[in-house]
Amino acid sequence: MSLSAKFRLGVLGSGAGSNMVAIAHAASAPDYPAKIALVLSDVANAGILNQAASLGLPHRHIAPGQFRTKLDDAAEAAYIHALREAQVDLVVLAGFMRVLKGQFLRAFEGRVVNVHPSLLPAFPGLDAWKQALEHGVKITGCTVHFVDQGLDTGAIIAQEGTPVLDSDTAETLHARIHEAEHRVYPAAIAALALGRVALQGRRTHLRAP
Ligand code: GAR
């Protein structure tokens, strides 16, 4: 596949950036159908920006504005502008810890995905692996889903289960969920890039290649 034909990803993150690195690693294979066009973060010194710099990927900090859990209108417009300028086909949330509102979701309708560290609809919101441990479930995992106006409520694209071990702490459990995310997210993005994800109501299914 020629580089120009590749699906262009805009990756948004607030943290360490291990999912972005996993996607970049997958994208380094010549036959992977997508490439990272831009990495954006709301946190000036986020690991994801350092990782992007060391991978030679275009990256920028865009300040989130006045709120703690969402972008303000001006910031949201700046994110939209940067992603459009980079001609992004798909917005990939990878540990982006702010809720995106209507203006953003309308700008990229049906083209925003997220990875969440639980088997949704269980444990939406923050620190999902801790919620799972405290609840006492025996299996948790990760979910790749479309982003809608709700909190972690969009249609599910892919999931992988992770057993909870008796010996688990929040850290060991999150580490194994992270490993699952690093498998599932690049695979789901490839399926989206190839146009293989069909959505009917809330259900998605994979079209044959
Ligand atoms: C990941 O575990 C991701 O699922 C989670 O943040 C982590 C980011 O790790 N996202 C959420 O909790 C969103 N609600 P990373 O920065 O190393 O990719």
CATH of the domain at 98: 3.40.50.170
Q: Are residues 3 and 104 in the same domain?
A: yes
Q: Are residues 127 and 164 in the same domain?
A: yes
Q: Radius of gyration of the chain from Cα atoms?
A: 16
Q: Are residues 88 and 170 in the same domain?
A: no
In a domain, 37, yes or no: yes
In a domain, 126, yes or no: yes
Instruction: For residue 174, indicate whether it is catalytic.
Output: no
Best substitution site from 41, 113, 176, 178 to test ligand 1's pocket, by max atoms within 8 Å of Cβ?
A: 178
Give residue 193's pLDDT.
98
Q: Are residues 2 and 105 in the same domain?
A: yes
Q: State how far the Cα of 58 lies from the Cα of 39, in Å rounded to an integer.
A: 6
In a domain, 55, yes or no: yes
Q: Are residues 13 and 98 in the same domain?
A: yes
What is the CA(117)–ligand 1 centre distance, in A? 7
Q: Are residues 122 and 175 in the same domain?
A: yes
What is the CA(58)–ligand 1 centre distance, in A? 21
Q: Are residues 54 and 134 in the same domain?
A: no
| CB within 8 Å of 45: residues ≥ 6 apart | none
Q: Are residues 70 and 132 in the same domain?
A: no
Last residue of a domain, one of 83, 109, 135: 109
Give residue 3's pLDDT.
47
In a domain, 195, yes or no: yes
For residue 164, give its domain range.
115-143+160-209
Active-site annotation holder among 25, 59, 116, 182: 116
The atom number, within ligand 1, closest to the CA of 142 reads 4
In a domain, 148, yes or no: no
Q: State how far the Cα of 169 lies from the Cα of 162, in Å rounded to an integer.
A: 14
Chunked into runs of 10 residues, the chain (209 residues) has average pLDDT values of: 78 98 98 98 98 98 96 97 98 97 96 98 98 98 98 98 98 98 98 97 93
Give residue 209's pLDDT.
82
3-state SS string for the chain: CCHHHCEEEEEECCCCCHHHHHHHHHHCCCCCCEEEEEEEECCCCCHHHHHHHHCCCCEEECCCCCCCCECCHHHHHHHHHHHHHCCCCEEEECCCCCECCHHHHHHCCCCEEEEECCCCCCCCCCCHHHHHHHHCCCEEEEEEEECCCCCCCCCEEEEEEEECCCCCCHHHHHHHHHHHHHHHHHHHHHHHHCCCEEEECCEEEECCC
Question: How many domains would you assign to the chain?
Answer: 2
In a domain, 155, yes or no: no
Q: Which residue's CA is minimally distant from atom 9 of ligand 1?
A: 95
* CB-CB contact of 91 with 83 (8 Å): yes
191 lines ligand 1 (CB under 6 A): no
Q: Are residues 79 and 123 in the same domain?
A: no
Q: Are residues 85 and 130 in the same domain?
A: no
In a domain, 153, yes or no: no
In a domain, 29, yes or no: yes
Q: Are residues 94 and 181 in the same domain?
A: no
Q: Are residues 27 and 95 in the same domain?
A: yes
